[in-house]
């Protein structure tokens, strides 16, 4: 296996695509329920800003692309507060935020839920001790 050519290396994510079956419902969920900043919409796709990474909600352009998304972990400062706010907006979590691991300088907490299109997503907090 050869090394990557000088100056070429993948080290930043520019956009993440999430499949939607009902684009308008998905836009409402990400904009109104999750509170993401809506950027723009074109036929079959809608775009949001997620901390400098563009999130694209889109209808599958062909059958091979029609599958659930990978799990996206959204970093939050206070997972308990975020869980409470989102639960109040109608997000159904599998269970309350839970401790996952004690790391060197912080504790890792997670909480899983589904979006309006049945994709699993998670809240993630790294809590300093």
Q: Is residue 1 part of a domain?
A: no
Q: Is residue 88 part of a domain?
A: yes
Instruction: Choose among 82, 75, 69: nearest CA to 15.
Output: 69
Q: Is residue 6 part of a domain?
A: no
* Max Cα distance, the chain (Å): 52
Bin 7: left if φ > 0, else alpha if -120 < ψ < 50, else beta: left
SS3 35: coil
Profile the chain (129 residues) by mean pLDDT over runs of 10 residues.
62 90 97 97 96 95 87 94 96 96 95 94 94
Task: Give the pLDDT of residue 9.
Answer: 73
Dist CA 109 CA 83 (whole Å): 12
Of the chain, the end-to-end C-alpha distance in Å amounts to: 42
Q: Is residue 3 part of a domain?
A: no
Q: Is residue 9 part of a domain?
A: no
Task: Give the pLDDT of residue 27.
Answer: 98
Q: Is residue 5 part of a domain?
A: no
Print the domain residue range for 97.
Answer: 15-61+68-128
Q: Is residue 83 part of a domain?
A: yes
Q: Is residue 25 part of a domain?
A: yes
CATH of the domain at 108: 3.10.180.10
Task: Give the pLDDT of residue 68.
Answer: 85
Residue 75 tokens read as 């970093």
Number of domains in the chain: 1
10-35 b/e (C-beta count within 10 Å ≥ 16 → b): eeeeeeeebbbeebeebbebbeeebe
């Amino acid at each position: 296996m050869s090394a990557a050519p000088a100056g070429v290396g993948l080290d930043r994510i520019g956009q993440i695509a999430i499949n939607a079956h009902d684009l308008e419902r998905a836009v409402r969920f990400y904009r109104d329920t999750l509170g993401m900043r809506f950027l723009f919409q074109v036929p079959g796709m809608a775009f949001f800003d997620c901390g400098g990474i563009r999130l694209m909600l889109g209808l599958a352009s062909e059958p091979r692309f029609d599958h659930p998304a990978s799990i996206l972990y959204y970093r939050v400062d206070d997972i308990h507060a975020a869980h409470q706010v989102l639960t109040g907006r109608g997000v159904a979590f599998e269970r309350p935020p839970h401790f996952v691991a004690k790391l060197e300088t912080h504790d890792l907490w997670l909480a899983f839920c589904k979006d309006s299109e049945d994709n699993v997503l998670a809240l993630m907090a790294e809590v300093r001790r």
